[in-house]
Amino acid sequence: MSVVVKRVTAMLALGGAVLASAPAFADADEDNLVINGDIAIVTEAKAPAHMEYVDTIYSGWRFRSDETQVMQADDFDNPGMIGVENAMEKWAAVDGSEGKSCASCHGDAEESMVGVRPVYPKWNEEAQEVRTLEMQVNDCRENRMGAEKWGYTSGSMVDMVALITSVSRGMPVSVAIDGPVAETWEQGKELYYSRTGQLELSCANCHEDNYGNMIRADHLSQGQINGFPVYRLKNTKLNGVHARFKGCVRDTMAETYSPGSAEFVALELYVASRGNGLSVEGPSVRN
Amino acid sequence: MASGVRPRVKVPKTASAGEAVTLKTLISHKMESGQRKDSDGNVIPRSIINRFTCDFNGQNVIDVTLEPAISTNPYFEFEATVPESGEFKFTWYDDDGSVYEDSAEITVA
């Protein structure tokens, strides 16, 4: 296991209004993540061209303590893998009026689902919509299995998304931002930079202007989603992307959008695109 | 029986005689402390794993008493010296009387 404790402080380009007169300091640590001694994870990359104010992107893993980081280096130590195991059972279980399981059509998830996570959310031509993985899973359940939809943030759903994600670990996130998704992406970007709540803070105020700084006892990351679903030590369960967004919006003391809403789908597409180039890491472990 | 309980163990397949090997165990369990209340103000009854043991070829390696403050999905990692080929047996005892077992073979080369 190669968690080495060594810290550097690097100066970064600054942006946004909050710290306009003071430079922001990045304090991502210098540790390397290799899962199961086998899957090398890219936790730092050159920022995609569309990002104006950030030069280097970092996985949230780089901002966590060594004790938390190490849990993600071995699947046995990663409690998020419990969700993956649960989902494997669901994958093979027949459900709904058509008498089918996921496996009936998709075979072995460890083969058929490789490469799926890195490109989501993505455009679905037939439905003419941007789909998150959760939406796609529910579409299969409802329209191909004749089964009931799962709740967007339900345990079954987040476990299934963890399974589908886990088989792409190490592959680079690469969501498309142009063509038919361009409008949704713009909408997501707009939301990212809009201040909300009584605190009047945007995502960017915390995750772009202040990553590396402490906010109370928490070490601010860039708010990347390459590690989702995330097993949080705080609530001892797997958390989906929209559940995290909801928590962050609520922390600005605002009314939040609902998980699965068009707004959060757009925001997910935009935030995912800010991680283009980082490895898929989920299920990851965070505090 | 508490739902979603599943034991897991990680034991090396081989060792040399007398070697100390690292064993890892995890059981998925909610470990309800008995200290919390539900939204109606009623105490949620305690439901925890209260004891964990590991034996090697019938000889006890570790015997742990668990208390309510131990968090969800208890994880134990410990070492055992392996004198000969044999079987590790792991046992978890639930408050509700359920007993969960797992085992793993190890070969001394």
Q: What distance in Å separates the CA atoms of residue A86 and residue B6, rounded to the nearest whole number?
A: 10
Catalytic (active-site) positions of A:
248
Give yes or no for a contact between B53 and B16, defined as CB atoms under 8 angstroms apart.
no
Strands A237-239, B86-94: parallel, antiparallel or unpaired by DSSP?
Answer: unpaired
Give yes or no for a contact between A14 and A21, defined as CB atoms under 8 angstroms apart.
no
Give yes or no for a contact between A286 and A64, defined as CB atoms under 8 angstroms apart.
yes
Question: What integer pLDDT is reported at residue B98 of this predicted model?
Answer: 95
Mean pLDDT calculated for residue range B54-83: 95
A197: how many CB neighbours lie within 10 A of its CB? Answer: 15
Q: Which residues of A, range 63-82, sit inside 8 Å of B by Cβ?
A: 76-77, 79, 82
Q: Is B68 a residue whose pLDDT tops 50?
A: yes
**Backbone phi and psi for residue A249, each to the nearest 5 degrees, phi listed first:** -65, -40
CA distances from A271 to A7, A188, A266 (A): 26, 8, 9
Q: Is B28 an interface residue toward A (CB < 8 Å)?
A: yes
Note whether B28 contacts A77, CB cutoff 8 Å. Answer: no
Note whether B10 contacts A76, CB cutoff 8 Å. Answer: yes
- Token reading at A24: 């922001």
> Does the domain spanning B6-102 belong to CATH 2.60.40.10?
yes
Which residue of chain B has the CA closest to A82? B28
Task: Give the model confidence (pLDDT) of A248-266 as tens digits.
Answer: 999 999 999 999 999 999 9
Q: Which of A112, A152, A146, A5 is nearest to A66 (CA)?
A: A5
Q: What distance in Å separates the CA atoms of residue B109 and residue A49, rounded to the nearest whole number?
A: 56
Share of chain A above pLDDT 70, in %: 91
Torsion of Cα atoms, A255 then A258 then A262 then A263, to 10°: 30
| Cα first-last separation, chain B | 40
- Residue spans of the domains in chain B: they are 6-102
Measured N-to-C along each axis, helices A262-273 and A182-192 cross at an angle, to the nearest 10 degrees, of 90
Q: What distance in Å separates the CA atoms of residue A176 and residue A129, rounded to the nearest whole number?
A: 14
Note whether A82 contacts B24, CB cutoff 8 Å. Answer: no
Note whether B72 contacts A76, CB cutoff 8 Å. Answer: no
The pTM of this model reads 0.88
Q: Is A35 a residue whose pLDDT tops 60?
A: yes
Question: What integer pLDDT is reported at residue B2 of this predicted model?
Answer: 63
Q: Is B6 an interface residue toward A (CB < 8 Å)?
A: yes
Q: Is A20 a residue whose pLDDT tops 50?
A: no
User: Is the model more confident about B2 or about A108?
Assistant: A108
Which residue of chain A has the CA closest to B71? A236
Question: What integer pLDDT is reported at residue A157 of this predicted model?
Answer: 98
Give yes or no for a contact between A31 and A42, defined as CB atoms under 8 angstroms apart.
no
Mean pLDDT calculated for residue range A28-37: 93
- Token reading at B33: 């402390």
Interface test mutation site (partner A, options B75, B76, B78, B90, max chain A beta carbons within 10 A)? B75
Instruction: Name residue A201's beta-bridge partners.
Output: A196
Q: Is B8 an interface residue toward A (CB < 8 Å)?
A: yes
